[in-house]
Structure 1
Amino acid sequence: MPATETEPLLSPELLSRLERLELVSRKVFRGRMKGERRSRRKGQSVEFADFRHYVAGDDLRLIDWNLYARLDQLFLKLFLEEEDLHFFALVDASESMNFGDPTKLRVAKQLAAALGYVGLCRADRVSVSVLGPEGRRAPILRGRSGLWKMLAYLESVQSGHNVSLYDGIKDFSLRNAGTGVAVLMTDLMDKQGYEAAIRMLIGRRMDVFVMHILSPEELDPPLRGDRKLIDAEDRDESEITINAYVLQKYKDTVQSFIAGAKQFCSQRSVVYIPVRTDTPVETIVTRYLRERGVVR
């Protein structure tokens, strides 16, 4: 097993940097408990936000009587409300993710752990789970003390959960009634397609991000000559002779697949984030995810 597969998912240095970040939501969600983030909704707190005209039925305790004395009009004081966010990290653990060095699954687990810790540091509700039956034992966590439970769960996740993306998202949706930010970490390699699964998350009114994880060997295979290709998930076999022409056709197909996924997501207000497994996780989180509005 490569050394990277046995090292901690998050280094102490990265943990320190993650504590200064915050998850971002492009939508307004009503939190269940008070948290550390400022809501775009107006509520009751100690920090003043704005005024608005009084409307019959409003709470009389919020009327600014000093302003009434000066203007002879009724205005309500509005305050910034702090709320929590529900963050879902959904990890594809199918056998195709067990490829590369580090494996795509390893990188997905590191990213899930990193984003989960950012949420825990801000008192958000965090659910990090694998797609499939193993996701049913994933804990819902809050607070920094939940880090160790989250890491223990992710460390226990192994590849081989060969459920389709659609079935995995459907199982997740049946188990989780809430809304929030959902980050799907996957290679999108599913013979049934990925479109229906992503549509289901959109239908749940989630703020959806797709992290498309691929290894350098998948983008530019170091293969030549006669080969027998075996599907990692259903064991389908195909014999092929790899020459310069075939390799170029393969690269064109991969780039078309990536462009199609990006366009599909863009047309549905889903943030598409390409991830190469040879990119350090620290760089992905602190630079790329900031640029794409996942964290700030």
Structure 2
Amino acid sequence: MGVLEFLGLRPDKPSLRRGGASGEDDLFDDEFQRKLEYLAMVSRRVFSGAMRAERRTKKTGSGIEFADHRDYAPGDDIRYLDWNAYQKFDRLLIRLYEEEEDLAIYFILDTSSSMGFGEGEKLRQAKRLCAALAYVGLANLDRIAIVAATDEISGRMPTTRGKARIFRIFRFLNGVKAEGATDLGAAMKTFVAQHKRRGLAVLLTDLYDPEGFERGINVLRFNRFEPYVIHLVDKNDAKPDIKGDVRVYDCETGAEREVTVTAKVLEKYQQAYDGYLEEAQRFCTTRQVSYFRADVDVSFDELILRVFRRGGFLR
């Protein structure tokens, strides 16, 4: 039995701490919104001056910043001929310019059952982090989209921009529930097929994928998105409060197995869990994928400040 199967060790069924639409209202209360404005102010200091230009994606077009030359071809607009270059080199050359585009930021929220297991704090924390980072992006005039992912794209909030749109994001996130199996590889294949405009892809997930979390990240990489992994972790996953003869179940597939849990078994499980965390971080680091571990016991605003300090989201 691998680490993933041990997710079912606790006897309670997956459930959010506060179920239903009204139960989620406190996620984005007035205090949360005040903290968002503070975080946006902090981000503007990080995001000022030349750093703003660095976050723009650039393509060759008819903008105002000169980029390069290429040889003239029949049908080219003669307004872009460089006559000075013609006088010097006796060649017809076309001036190319850089055209700035707003950065597209995609938030990909893992909404599989493992994210809502037990008290559901991983999904709640992921929603807070998603809303906070989305607000920072909106405040900086980026284009924001959010998708919910399991073994498919189960929900989507279309691209939007402008700070006032944060309430639309609140409504979308409030409606997201933890259910279904995980297959990030399959879900990300659908995602890249649906989103042709490349950009920053912020993946908020516990990385519990029976098929291997690497597949989903690699799909983003190979399709020229820039992955940013926010790894949701809960200490209760690492140290289940059980002992003796128990029946464990997989909260996503329902598969069951009877095991005898001893202190030695729990020790080996802790080692396997720690190894899994290290493997995830090592995979991302060696492939130059931004990686951030988000503990559910740390306040969302402190985690956002750590994201800023770590870099990769604002740059």
TM over 0.5: yes
- Indicate the residue corresponding to 1:188 in structure 2: 207
The 1-side partners of 2:295 and 2:244 are apart by 26
- Indicate the residue corresponding to 2:112 in structure 1: 94
8 Å contact kept, 2:203–2:228: yes
- Indicate the residue corresponding to 2:94 in structure 1: none
- Indicate the residue corresponding to 2:34 in structure 1: 13
CA 1:37–1:100: 2 relative to 1, 3 Å: farther
8 Å contact kept, 1:37–1:84: no
Q: Structure 2 unaligned segments of length 5 or more: list them.
A: 1-15, 73-78, 85-96
8 Å contact kept, 1:38–1:80: no
TM-score (norm: length of structure 1): 0.78
More helix by share: 2
Give the percent of matched residue pairs that are identical in Structure 1 and Structure 2. 31
Q: Structure 1 unaligned segments of length 5 or more: list them.
A: 26-35, 64-78
Whose RCO is larger (CA < 8 A, sep 6+)? 2
SS at the partner of 1:273? strand
After superposition, the C-alpha distances for 1:49-94 in whole angstroms (9 at most, x for unaligned) are 9x99999989699x9xxxxxxxxxxxxxxx9986410001100100
Which amino acid in structure 2 is aligned with residue 160 of structure 1? E
8 Å contact kept, 1:5–1:102: no
SS at the partner of 2:247? strand
- Indicate the residue corresponding to 1:264 in structure 2: 283
After superposition, the C-alpha distances for 1:190-216 in whole angstroms (9 at most, x for unaligned) are 111111111100011122111111211
- Superposition pairs of residues 240-251 of structure 1, within 5 angstroms: 240-251=259-270
Which amino acid in structure 2 is aligned with residue 270 of structure 1? V
1:142 paired to 2:157: no
1:164 paired to 2:183: yes
1:38 paired to 2:53: yes
Which amino acid in structure 2 is aligned with residue 295 of structure 1? L
8 Å contact kept, 2:106–2:144: yes
- Indicate the residue corresponding to 1:152 in structure 2: 171
Choose from 115, 120, 124 the match for 2:142.
124
How much has 1:267 moved relative to structure 2? 1.5
Choose from 245, 251, 256 the match for 1:237.
256
Choose from 107, 127, 131 the match for 1:113.
131
The 2-side partners of 1:23 and 1:128 are apart by 25
How much has 1:106 moved relative to structure 2? 1.2
Report the RMSD for the aligned CA atoms in angstroms. 3.3
Which amino acid in structure 2 is aligned with residue 117 of structure 1? Y
Choose from 191, 211, 214 the match for 2:230.
211
How much has 1:229 moved relative to structure 2? 1.0
CA 1:228–1:289: 2 relative to 1, 3 Å: farther
8 Å contact kept, 2:122–2:232: yes
